[in-house]
Amino acid sequence: MEYQLRASRGDDWQRYRELRLSALRDPAAPVSFFEPIQEALDRSPEGWRQRAASHLLRTTFVVERGSDGDWVGMATALLTEGGHVHVVGVFLLPAQRGTGVAEDLLAAAVAWAGRREVRLDVHEDNARAARFYRRLGFRPTGRMVPDPRCPERRTVEMTLSEPPGGAAEGAAGGPRRSATGATDRSG
């Protein structure tokens, strides 16, 4: 598959909304996202524009399929008040899972972080995601946060075990660029 990975913009809000709603409807959503679907459905167009807009403190990386420009994946990197970058909202449409696109999304977030520490949270019941993040070099910090919908369940905070340029970028393998500048994951 040829695709382009880029930062979303405020004027992308409708495609951002469509993909986010797909994420919240996914069967894995209860162990992947805290946001209730109704909250997302009630968000105004201006609220979606703000969420889609990338800026100095927040960038959402999106994957556009080369053949039709449809969005097939996204991940958001947030610069926190504590100075680290927190990755949230990682999602790929089911047909894109296992293709290497998720590694490229995480590599983009790590690159955006520069030399800052990169953290993310994974639900304790989301073993598949935890294995994926471990493969990229993320390790539990020991901090756990209660799930606001079900306090007896928690998320596990993970941090990149090596600085950017270490295991996470190496594990991603680096995307291959086609002559058109799109990323080629066909081989």
Please state the pTM of the whole predicted model: 0.82
Residues 6+ apart with CB under 8 A from 131: none
pLDDT at 1: 67
CA angle centred on 98, ends 114 and 109, rounded to 5°: 10
**Residue 13's CB: how many other CB atoms inside 10 A?**
21
Query: What is the rounded average pLDDT for all residues in the chain?
Result: 84
Question: 122 - beta bridge partners?
Answer: 156
Residue 67: how many CB atoms within 10 A of its CB? Answer: 10
Tens digits of residue pLDDT in 167-180:
333 333 333 322 23
pLDDT of residue 180: 30
What is the rounded distance in angstroms from the CA atom of residue 117 to the CA atom of residue 80?
A: 10
* Amino acid 101: pLDDT: 92
**Extended strands (E) in 21-175:** 58-65, 71-79, 85-92, 118-123, 138-147, 150-160
pLDDT at 135 over 50: yes
What's the pLDDT tens digit per position in 70-124?
999 999 999 999 999 999 999 999 989 888 899 999 999 999 999 999 999 999 9
Beta strands in the chain (DSSP E): 2-7, 58-65, 71-79, 85-92, 118-123, 138-147, 150-160, 176-177, 183-184
